[in-house]
Structure 1
Amino acid sequence: MTLKRSLNRALTATTGLQVRRAPRPGTPRPAAAPQRPAPAYRRPSAEEPATDRLLRRPAFIVSSIRSGSTLLRLMLNAHSRLHSPHELHITRLEVGFGSSVSQYSMTRLGLERGDLEHLLWDRVMHWELVRSGKDHLVEKTPGNVFDIRRVRDCWPDARFVFLLRHPESVARSWHESDPEKRPYEKAVADALRYVAAVDDARKALPGGCTVRYEDITEDPERQLRRLCAFLDVEYEPGMVDYGRAGGTEVPRGLGDWRPTIRTGTVQPGRALPERDEIHGRLLPMCEAWGYA
């Protein structure tokens, strides 16, 4: 955008005009994502919750791609009571019946395919939490947003953290991570699909905690204190210095931040785009989230 800014400065100085991207009024917001047909399932029993679920009050970071969910995961995982593993993609774990006899047997138990998948998801998550030796699990797979209602039905006591980032920054970061595979226009379409799904999830799941990527990079301690209060744990200073606290090397290339290996220092995010630099298809969501 450097050439565009230079051109606008010259035009403004000589004519008082500027070059802006033409808005696209009436551009329909795409559906969140093609939904796979959900198998039949029932919600866990309120009378006997221990019968249906091992995991209690799991937390899910609901975010778009390239929104800083890995940074947030590393910071939360540095807490002595919070375990936030790598992306588990549990909603892509499926169960199949090897024969009609096995299906009939499970049906007699009151378990349809969706119920069996939920038992599998719960067992995997609980297994991972027990292995960690901690108390609370926080899962951060961005793709969960497209199955978030089913996640809620699997764990009615689940807690949700909504992580927002400027939609234009999401699109640019997604494009820049692989420009050949994801031209800018495709990156915009992908970003819009995700942020629209996050927006829908916020409306469908009241009572969650919303945090912005930009606020985390600007004042991580303040945002982590908010999140700890929401997750019912005491804030620990080591969360900000997450690399040292966790004792693990932090991989590079995660979004736009550039952490130093083993230090976990949070770096400032990229500058927010000007209004005339926002793609027309993303502008409505930017306005809805207070970015424009």
Structure 2
Amino acid sequence: MSTASARPVFLLGCPRSGTTLLQLMLHAHPRIALPPENRFVLPAYERRLRFGDLGRRANRAALGEWITGRAETRFHELGLDPDTVAASIADGPPTLGSALATTLRAYAEQHGKSRWGDKRPAYALHVPEILRLFPDAQFVHLVRDGRDCVASLLGMPWWHAGFHEAVATWAQVMDTTRRHARRLGPDSWHELRYEDLLTGPEPVLRELCAYLGEEYAPSMTQPHRLAEVAVPARKTWHRHTHGALDASRAGTWRQRLTPDQIRLCEAAFGDRLTRAGYQPSGAVRPDPAELLRYRKTAALRRAAHARRRLRDRRARLKEAGPVAALPATG
């Protein structure tokens, strides 16, 4: 049922929800390319005023150098020639979205793909920014049991925010994405569950392809074949993507979380778990002091998000021109 869609695909979710696995599945499709996580899409948007009027070629050249020439953007993990991409940005359309699309499209073309996309869990809290850059974007939201996400986050070498922050992260992502799903509708928002990918990948991936307007490709059920290419070696915490699908990865929170942690998770998540299809264990209420600590953490996250939205609205008033990607030419 392919309609040869050219809409960009953005994969998002709570950290440790399985987005890297689904990234590999989508990258295994013969028409779609999703690169390793970058650090230039959101940072470029947040710094957009510093790049000046992109109607000037010199400013586009500086933006291209910023994307391709700094280790912090992780451009080097895409395996692209920085001079070629920087030149394409400088010679390309005069918007920030176009410059970013040029980079991601170059990755797709390098892999012989005609459709590009991007994956980063953080996009779950930045959907408005992505839509400003790419108004025709299609979003894919991968959901995993919040207790498993928390347990997995606590085991990551890069997670230093603690248990309560991990709980608040899953709750905030679920609340935020629920609002976007209602607003965007089924043409631009699709949700699936990590556990279903593990236990019955083909029907889940067929539904995903139908949403994207693509033919289903059986190669998508063997993501481990691409792990060496699309997952940087430094990310040792993604070692499970190098093997076959393993349904035993679901529900490990029962062994990895303490009884006290399970109690707090289930009290904090409330009906978010059941709405997503997960059953509470029936644990008793947590210590009131721990629940209060969680609520303070969650309130601080919400306040930080609100401040970010306010800064964004102020920055929009100072933009030199449009930011949305323009149609590719040539």
TM-score of Structure 1 vs Structure 2, range by shorter chain: 0.5 to 0.7
- Once the 2 structures are TM-superposed, how far is the Cα of residue 265 of structure 1 from its aligned partner? 0.8
* 1:181-206 residue CA offsets vs partner (Å, 9 max, x unmatched): 24322321233233332223222321
Shift of 1:163: 1.1
Judge which range, 242-251 or 179-188, deviates more.
242-251
How far apart are residue 58 of structure 1 and its match?
0.3
Structure with greater Cα Rg: 1
Matching residue of 1:95: 48
User: What do the CA deviations read for 1:202-232 (whole angstroms, capped 9, x no partner)?
Assistant: 2232112211001001111221111122222
Q: For residues 216 and 123 of structure 1, do their structure 2 counterparts lie closer, same or farther at Cα, with a shift above 3 Å needed? A: same
Q: Please point out which of 30, 40, 43 is paired with 1:80.
A: 30
- CA displacement at 1:247 relative to structure 2: 6.6
* Structure 1 residue 74 displacement after superposition: 0.8
After superposition, give the CA deviation of every residue in 1:92-145 in whole Å (9 maximum; x if it has no partner).
2133447xxx65977xxxxxxxx8432332322223223332011231111112
Instruction: Give the Å deviation of 1:67.
Output: 0.6
The SS at the match of 2:29 is coil
Residues 272 and 253 from structure 1, CA distance in 2 versus in 1: closer, same or farther, beyond 3 angstroms?
closer
Aligned to 1:253: 237
Q: Does 1:150 align with 2:135?
A: no
Give the Cα–Cα distance (whole angstroms) in 1 for the partners of residues 116 and 55 of structure 2: 33
Equivalence for 1:31: none
Residues 82 and 68 (structure 1), Cα distance of their counterparts in 2 relative to 1, 3 Å cut: same
- The CA RMSD measured in Å over matched residues stands at 3.1
CA contact (8 A) 2:32 2:114 kept: yes
SS of equivalent residue, structure 1 residue 235: coil
Q: How does 1:2-151 map to 2 (within 5 A)?
A: 56-89=6-39, 90-93=41-44, 94-97=47-50, 116-151=95-130
The count of corresponding residues between Structure 1 and Structure 2 is: 223
Unaligned runs of 5+ in 1: 1-54, 107-114
CA offset digits 1:47-66 (Å, max 9, x no partner): xxxxxxxx940011131111
| 1:58/1:137 contact within 8 Å kept | yes
Distance 1:249 1:152 in 2: 25
* Contact 1:240–1:265 under 8 Å retained in 2: no
Structure 2: distance between partners of 1:125 and 1:104: 19
Q: The residue matched to 2:139 in structure 1 has which SS?
A: strand
**Change in 2 beyond 3 A, CA 1:178/1:186:** farther
Aligned counterpart for 1:244 among listed residues 217, 220, 225: 225
Report the AA paired with residue 9 of structure 2: A
What are the equivalent positions in structure 2 for 1:140-289 lying under 5 Å apart? 140-178=119-157, 181-207=160-186, 208-244=189-225, 248=229, 252-254=236-238, 258-259=240-241, 261=242, 264-268=243-247, 269-271=249-251, 278-289=265-276
| Identity rate, percent | 24
Task: Select the structure that is richer in helix.
Answer: 2
Give the 3-state SS of the residue equivalent to 1:121 in structure 2: helix
Q: TM-score, normalised by structure 1?
A: 0.66
Q: CA deviation at 1:152?
A: 1.9
